[in-house]
Each structure stands twice: as structure tokens, then as C-alpha cells.
A = this chain, B = another copy of it.
Amino acid sequence: MKSYRANLGGGIDGIVMRDEAIPSPGPHQILVAVRAVSLNARELMILQGYYPLPVKPDLIPVSDGAGEVVAIGDGVTRVKIGDRIAASIFPRWIDGPFGWDYSAQLGGSLDGMLSEYALLPEDAAVQIPPHLSYEEAATLPCAAVTAWNALSGGVPLLPGQTVLTQGSGGVSLFALQLARLFGARVIATTSSDDKAQRLTALGADAVINYRTTPDWHACVREMTGGRGVDVIVEVGGAGTMEQSLKAVALSGQISQVGSLDKSAASIGIAALSATVTSIRRIAVGNRAQFLAMNSAIAMHGLRPVIDSVFAFEDAVEAFRYYARGEAFGKIVIRHD
């Protein structure tokens, strides 16, 4: 089989493709013929050398993937050959809050999905919603589960509440689409009128251009009759947190999803102490959340937004495109 291999801090140029033997599944393991993978910020963080969790050397990179089960080991009960599955990033994180015991992760301390075949613990397998293609399903494990956790992992999000999303990255677009399934109203921020139109088409009830409205928090207050929004899916870090603290409702929630921030940026303690809110740091989500989300996606026929699809042979090019940060939606690499 053909697999890509990479190393912590090895950069995009350090990714190499190899021919390897197809592994065979041991007890409670499954072999998956990978059909598609998708890229996330974590991939770049690993290649650039600053990732908060352990990374194995000579790693098959990429956490997110989907494929078909082609072989199963002894004792496997959760899937059977022929099943269409996606993989949960943290195979040991089944339910409940995150803990070190659960921190082994695909495309990190464990080999990932950028390969023709992936050997996975059966606990990582999650059935794909029937209406989704492999390309679409491959976008779910990191960005969509993060968005689902950001919306539903704290105090319950209720119909009639308002959610704020920021920009058009993978997590933000899923947050927008999923929030609609909860019956919530969505206010989205973006940097251009063109993107604003696309966000509206995805279901955003209101969009604020933060270039033309830099003090967007005031606009959010106005749009909510002064109350502020109930849940903010905060992905901007130091650049947006202070405005988020001003835009959130009393007793509201900020789900902090941003990547690990290496900068010396800071937020004023005054902003933090001037509100009555909760900030929850999100680290993807558990398998139970993935399964619950898939039920919602299947019931409502939600379709992930894919920016572009690259062939497996062009994987390195896909990474370079991802690094430019211009995508609206997910970048997928697929096998023919």
C-alpha cells in the first residue's frame, strides 16, 4: 500500500510517500480501505513543530478520514466488513470529559489516515450517515465534532437561542449548519461581502463584516435587543476574545476553539471580569458526541461544505493549499 509519512516539525516538504505492507488486524482491530481524508489546523501544527500532544516519529499523518472496513480482527463487534466508517480522532475517548487517559490520537501519537489502508482499533469506528459520500464523511471527525461539542457540550443549546460563529473555517461553517439543527438563530462574522452571501446561503440569519464593522460586538448587542448571544464559537483567539466577552449574554457561554496560540498576545483581565459568562476550552469531542452528531446529520440531511478535493498523489499540494488559509470549507484528499 502507499502511505505518506511525516515528522513533528518536518514541514510540508518533509512529507514522503512510501510503499508499505498492508497490516492485518489483531484482536479488536479493523482494517479500513481509506477513501478520503480531510485536513485540519492540527496537521500544520504538527508539521510546524508546535503541537500540544505527543507525536510519534515517522507518522502517517492526518487524523480525519473515512473508508470501508475490509478486514476485522478477533472479537470485533462494533463493525463488520463492508461498513462505511469514519474514525474518531481520540479512539479511547468514548464519552464524558477529556482526560490524559484518552489522549492517544490518530495522526498524532498513533498513525493516521493518509494512506491507502488504515489499521484502527474498532473503538475508533463510527458509522457514516447514509446520505454522505466518503469525501463528505472525511470532513467530520475534527471540525464537525468540535463544532458539535462547542454547541452542545456545556449548558444545553435551546431552540430560540442565538449562536455567533466567526469566519468561514471548517469549525465555523459546521457550527453554523449544526446550530440551525438545534433551532438556534445564527449570527456569523466574516471579512467580505462575498463570503457573507455564502454564509447566508448556508443558513446564517445575519452576517457582520468585521472589516467594515470592526467593533462587531456592538452590532451583535443591537441585533439581540441588547441581550447578547447565548453561545459563541470562538475561534479567533486574542484577536476576537475581548469582543466575544462583550458580545455574549449574561450567563452565556464562549466555546474557545482556537488553535494553540504561540503568540505573546493577551486579553485584558478587565474584559474577563466585566461579564458573567463561562469560557469552555474545546478539544474536539468524544465518540458519543460523534455518534449523536451523525444522527442529527443523517436525520436532517446536512451536507458538509467542501472547498476542494485533491487526488491522493497530490496530497502535498493539498497541504500547501491548506496553509494559504483561503479555503471556504474543507479540503479533502481522496483515493480514486
Contact = CB atoms under 8 A, between A and B. Distances in A.
A300 B78 contact: no
Interface in A74-90: 74, 77-78
B96 A288 contact: yes
A286 B97 CA distance: 13
Interface in A235-277: 237-238, 241, 250-251, 256, 258-270, 272-277
A276 B283 contact: yes
Interface stretch (A6-14, A15-23, A98-106, A190-198): A98-106
A185 B266 CA distance: 32
B160 A152 contact: no
A250 B212 CA distance: 39
Nearest to A227: B100
A323 interface: no
A156 interface: yes
Contacts of A52: 274
B267 A266 contact: yes
Interface stretch (A24-32, A165-173, A313-321): A24-32
A297 interface: yes
B98 A250 contact: yes
B158 A269 contact: no
Interface string A148-189: 000010111011110000000000000000100111010000
A296 interface: yes
Given A27-B26, A159-B299, A261 B270 contact: yes
Nearest to A259: B273
Nearest to A29: B27
B281 A273 contact: yes
Contact of A264 (B121, B270, B283): B270
A99 to B, nearest CB: 6
A249 B261 CA distance: 20
A295 interface: yes
Nearest to A101: B78
A288 to B, nearest CB: 5
A281 B277 contact: yes
Given A98-B251, A185-B299, A278-B278, 5 more contacts: A52-B274, A96-B96, A160-B298, A276-B283, A278-B281
Query: Nearest 10 pairs between A and B by C-beta?
Result: A95-B96, A160-B296, A160-B295, A156-B156, A97-B251, A266-B266, A159-B181, A159-B296, A238-B269, A94-B94
